[in-house]
Amino acid sequence: MSINPPSRKALPPFEALRAFDAVARLRGIRKAALSLGRDHAVVSRHLRGIESWTGTTLIERGSGGSVLTEDGKRYHKQIAEALDNIALATIDLMRRGDRHRLHIWSMPGFAFHWLSRQLGAFEKANAGVDIELRPTDRSPNFAYHESDIDIRFVSTYGDPFELAPGLKSIELARVPIVPVASPAYLASHPPIKTPAELTKHRLLHEHNFDSWATWFAAHRVYEDLDLNGPLLWQGHLTLEAARHGRGVALANHMIVVEDLKAGHLIEVGLNEPAFESYGMGIYHFIARADRWDQPLIRRFRQWLIHAMGETILPLSTSGAS
């Protein structure tokens, strides 16, 4: 920080800066007015005010709309990062003071099949806490405070897990990744003794064929991988298709445990030596390093580790590993 900062008298009114920034970003006064919840005449007045303040024409107004002058482009480039930093610092301050709301992003399958069923227990033990759960395959931008917590699932035989700077993570659980199918589907086909035999079956995929390709590679099946089958984009859709006998899906025990217990799905190759699990996946709990020990985030992390442990223990003691 400069010992002798520029005079604060050089700062134009903040509403005028917001208006100019919105016009520059959205490329139009009416769009900016809609974004700011202001009448377009008010935004125009703010623009004239900042031009008067600086003594410079920032906007060229014509029948085709409003565009930035070269001075306007240069000025916006210089102030945009500062305005972003003000917004982010304010959001950060608000989040640090918010002890009653938790934003969680999670893999869709985990959110749908396990986490959403368990959250009631955490809410009961933490009265007054509001939870926002977003199932998504995309990781949040923690710098922009899109989420407080991210729960990701990464296979040990896929691309290595890389944590972005400024973040911290902990392993929540390691679970097998296994092929599953309905009893009706398996009854209509000969017994499957080796992973290679699955290449002749109807395989259910998410958004591409990569998951099955890496699973086969982990089980030392490299040849004759002319993979095809329906693309269903998300894991809970492949499981729903498997339940209805449409083919074989890949899943981890954490999200199919109830289906396996109820007999809706069967683990393909269970107790077959060739299927002994090479394929494992790791659930990661991720948060900003500087918010890792924020009380609500810490309480949720401790609860989640315990709750997932209780789910995985019966799997390991029952021989499903």
What pLDDT score does 99 carry? 67
What pLDDT score does 54 carry? 87
* Separation in Å, CA 231 to CA 13, 109, 198, 234: 53, 16, 17, 9
Q: Taking the alpha carbons of 169, 170, 173, 174 in that order, is the dihedral positive or negative?
A: positive
Contact between 46 and 37 under an 8 Å Cβ cutoff? The reply is no
List per-residue pLDDT tens for the chain, 321 residues long: 555 666 666 788 888 888 888 888 888 888 888 888 889 899 889 989 888 888 899 988 877 677 889 998 998 999 888 888 877 777 777 666 656 889 999 999 899 989 999 999 999 999 999 999 999 989 999 988 899 999 999 888 777 888 999 999 999 998 889 999 999 999 999 999 999 999 999 999 998 999 999 899 888 898 768 898 999 988 889 999 999 999 999 999 889 988 999 999 999 999 899 987 666 889 999 999 999 999 999 999 999 999 998 887 555 444 333
**Torsions phi, psi of 320, nearest 5?**
-85, 100
Q: What single letter denotes the amino acid at residue 285?
A: F
The pTM assigned to this predicted structure is 0.72
Nearest Cα neighbor of 241 from 251, 254, 252, 226 is 251
